[in-house]
Amino acid sequence: MDQMTLDLAPPRRIDITLDRLDKVVNEMVESERSTLANHKWWSIAVIVSRLRAMERAEIEVLPSSRQTMADAYDLVVTPGEHPIEALLRTFRTVYCQKEAA
């Protein structure tokens, strides 16, 4: 998949959520961002954002058929859910599954 194809592809739902979250956080005053950073779940939201950015970069270079966080997001998140809850559930789905014995 070349850059032009990526630019023309419709944005994935997880990317829209991450963009919306970024916008909200950037509009916060410093004291609000500091309070947000003290929540334990906030680090997961940051990790999801960074992992998704790495996935997008990987897809640009090496398109693959493996399931991405965007695929998991589409499977487990219903439109209209709270963005943080959606991201946390996606993270749990992808990275916290118990291995079959």
pLDDT in tens, 30-62: 999 999 999 999 999 999 999 999 998 888 888
Q: Which residue range(s) make up the domain with 49?
A: 10-95
Q: How many residues does the chain have?
A: 101
The answer to the question of residue 4 being in a domain is no
Closest of 30, 84, 19, 78 to residue 52, by C-alpha: 19
**Would residue 27 count as lying in a domain?**
yes
Q: Is 96 within 8 Å of 44 (Cβ atoms)?
A: no
Section 85-101 average pLDDT: 81
Instruction: State the average pLDDT over residues 79-84.
Output: 91
Considering the domain boundaries, does residue 72 fall inside one?
A: yes
Q: What's residue 1's pLDDT? A: 44
Distance of alpha carbon 89 from alpha carbon 95, whole angstroms = 10
Looking at the structure of the chain, the number of domains it has is 1
Does residue 42 lie in a domain region?
yes
